[in-house]
Amino acid sequence: MPHPDEFVRAFGQLREIETPAIIVDADVLDANLRRMANLAATAQLDLRPHVKTHKSVKVARQQLALGARGITASKPSEAAVFAEHGFDDIFMAFPPVGAQKLDRIEPLLAEEVLTVGIDDVAIAEPLARRGRQRKRSVPVMFEVDVGMHRAGRPWGRAAAEEAALVAAIPGIDLRGVFTHEGHAHNWHPSKIGDLADEVTHRLTTTAKLLRTTGHPCPTVSVGSTLTTAHLQPNGGLTEMRPGVYAYGDVRTVEGGAATWRDCALTVLATVVSRPNQQTVIIDAGTKTLSPALTKSGTYGYVANLEGAHFVRCSEEHGTLDLKKPSLQPLVGTRIHVVPARAGVVVNTSYRTHQVAGVQHLRSVPTDASLCEL
Ligand SMILES: Cc1ncc(COP(=O)(O)O)c(C=O)c1O
């Protein structure tokens, strides 16, 4: 992985912004959105970005304006925020289990703006009952496990058989199959092309088996930023659902799907203490950066202070060690950190600050922050 010192951006001190704050370079964001739209077009796939990364109506609208077919959300409350703002094609890639969750998604189903991801007849049955009461079948996608071993039935016969049972339930409208190939993060970046082929094979094989039971399975959807550059046209897939590509983070760089220059989001922090020549204390700890770690076990990369690296974080403080003691940032200096995981950082924020280089452009609300239900 190239060293973050290869950043070529001029990071502003942005004195008008109170820290800690989340900074998004609007030009880098725009370039990321365009690049993914082009990748989807080249692979001849529909693009359905996962909004859990940015949770922003403004950014999701940019994605739609660049050709995205719809959006992916993870929680009923998150989907509801986007529905309130007029988004009318939302896929919730998380199973709604329990009456409270069904109550939450009921209005979105009634408005016919939601498709629901499930992997079990036991989840389909109560959904179908609601559909029958409303006299409208509930659109669902069936989740297939192609190697991540999280949710989803194992690819091939096991998934196809359960999906066929789901499809047969009156009140269910099975639209297709989907997977999240999040295990891509465990693969070496040089092998992600092989993984993309494997994922495609496993998901399309499942779709074909499902079709032999008489179900058309029109949508075949994969979802991970890491595989997007390797997906091929005419391979049987119809859709991709990348998320983190919008902002990038250390994990995406480690996975080979972004360079440091593609990292649109940084956490802006202020040096609040210099207890000794070697140590810099900033006002961003785990409450801001999140406890998520990079593969090398750090909270993020310090983008504008050469050689500085995290030694620890407590809730409110980040402790940096200076490799180059010749650089001695004074108290009050602004530090930009590329976090390990952008989505977790954004989740607890009320807003991001969009900048163009060193100029503050606007404050953008994180419309769906803390939508944990
Ligand atoms: C179901 C699902 N689809 C798509 C994505 C998007 O993946 P990424 O943000 O790595 O591009 C995720 C991310 O966790 C996911 O859980």
Tell me the per-residue pLDDT of 315-352, one tens digit each, with 9 for 90 and over. 999 999 997 777 899 999 999 999 999 999 999 999 99
d(CA 244, CA 342): 7
Among protein residues, the one whose CA lies closest to atom 10 of ligand 1: 224
- What atom in ligand 1 is closest to the CA of residue 223? 4
Among protein residues, the one whose CA lies closest to atom 15 of ligand 1: 180
Give pTM, 2 decimals.
0.96
Select from 98, 167, 176, 97 the least CA-distant residue to 144.
176
pLDDT of residue 1: 56
Q: For residue 302, how far is its CA from the centre of ligand 1 (angstroms)?
A: 25
> Does the Cβ of 179 fall within 6 Å of ligand 1?
no
Alpha helices (H) along the chain: 26-42, 57-65, 76-84, 99-110, 121-134, 157-167, 192-212, 250-254, 286-289, 342-347
Helix (H) or strand (E) holding 96: none
Question: In the chain, how long is the greatest CA-to-CA distance?
Answer: 72
Q: For residue 180, how far is its CA from the centre of ligand 1 (angstroms)?
A: 6
Q: For residue 52, how far is its CA from the centre of ligand 1 (angstroms)?
A: 8
Among protein residues, the one whose CA lies closest to atom 14 of ligand 1: 182
d(CA 91, CA 73): 6
- The answer to whether the CB of 361 falls within 8 A of the CB of 354 is yes
Pocket residue to mutate for ligand 1, from 59, 179, 180, 222, most atoms within 8 A of Cβ: 180
> Does the Cβ of 242 fall within 6 Å of ligand 1?
yes
- The answer to whether the CB of 239 falls within 8 A of the CB of 221 is yes
User: DSSP letter string over 260-287?
Assistant: GGG--EEEEEEEEEEEETTEEEES--HH
- The answer to whether the CB of 181 falls within 8 A of the CB of 148 is yes
Select from 345, 241, 330, 243 the least CA-distant residue to 287.
345
Q: For residue 215, how far is its CA from the centre of ligand 1 (angstroms)?
A: 26
- What atom in ligand 1 is closest to the CA of residue 242? 11
208 — alpha (psi -120 to 50), left (phi > 0) or beta? alpha
Among protein residues, the one whose CA lies closest to atom 4 of ligand 1: 223
pLDDT of residue 6: 60
> Does the Cβ of 366 fall within 6 Å of ligand 1?
no
Parallel, antiparallel or unpaired: strands 279-282 and 318-321: antiparallel
- The answer to whether the CB of 364 falls within 8 A of the CB of 25 is no
Q: Taking the CB of residue 352, how many other CB atoms lie within 10 A of it? A: 26
Long-range contacts of 146-152 (CB under 8 A, 24+ apart): 146/179, 146/181, 146/198, 146/199, 146/202, 146/203, 147/181, 147/183, 147/198, 147/199, 147/202, 148/179, 148/180, 148/181, 148/182, 148/183, 149/183, 150/180, 150/182, 151/95, 151/119, 152/119, 152/179, 152/180
pLDDT of residue 372: 85
* Structure tokens, 114: 């939601």
Beta-bridge partners for 177: 142, 220
- In this structure, what DSSP letter does residue 166 have? H
Q: For residue 242, how far is its CA from the centre of ligand 1 (angstroms)?
A: 6
d(CA 132, CA 129): 5
pLDDT of residue 296: 85
> Does the Cβ of 227 fall within 6 Å of ligand 1?
no
> Does the Cβ of 182 fall within 6 Å of ligand 1?
yes
Q: By three-state DSSP, how is residue 365 classified?
A: strand
pLDDT of residue 307: 87
Select from 182, 183, 156, 166 the least CA-distant residue to 74.
182
Beta-bridge partners for 240: 47, 222
- What atom in ligand 1 is closest to the CA of residue 241? 4
Q: For residue 279, how far is its CA from the centre of ligand 1 (angstroms)?
A: 37
* Structure tokens, 345: 């950082």
Select from 50, 174, 64 the least CA-distant residue to 116.
174
Q: For residue 278, how far is its CA from the centre of ligand 1 (angstroms)?
A: 39
- What atom in ligand 1 is closest to the CA of residue 143? 1
> Does the Cβ of 251 fall within 6 Å of ligand 1?
no
Alpha helices (H) along 43-187: 57-65, 76-84, 99-110, 121-134, 157-167
pLDDT of residue 293: 92
Q: Tens-of-pLDDT digits for all 373 residues of the chain?
A: 555 556 667 788 999 999 999 999 999 999 999 999 999 999 999 999 999 999 999 999 999 999 999 999 999 999 999 999 999 999 999 999 999 999 999 999 999 999 999 999 999 999 999 999 999 999 999 999 999 999 999 999 999 999 999 999 999 999 999 999 999 999 999 999 999 999 999 999 999 999 999 999 999 999 999 999 999 999 999 999 999 999 999 999 999 999 999 999 999 999 999 999 999 999 999 999 999 898 889 999 999 998 899 999 999 999 999 977 778 999 999 999 999 999 999 999 999 999 998 899 999 999 999 898 9
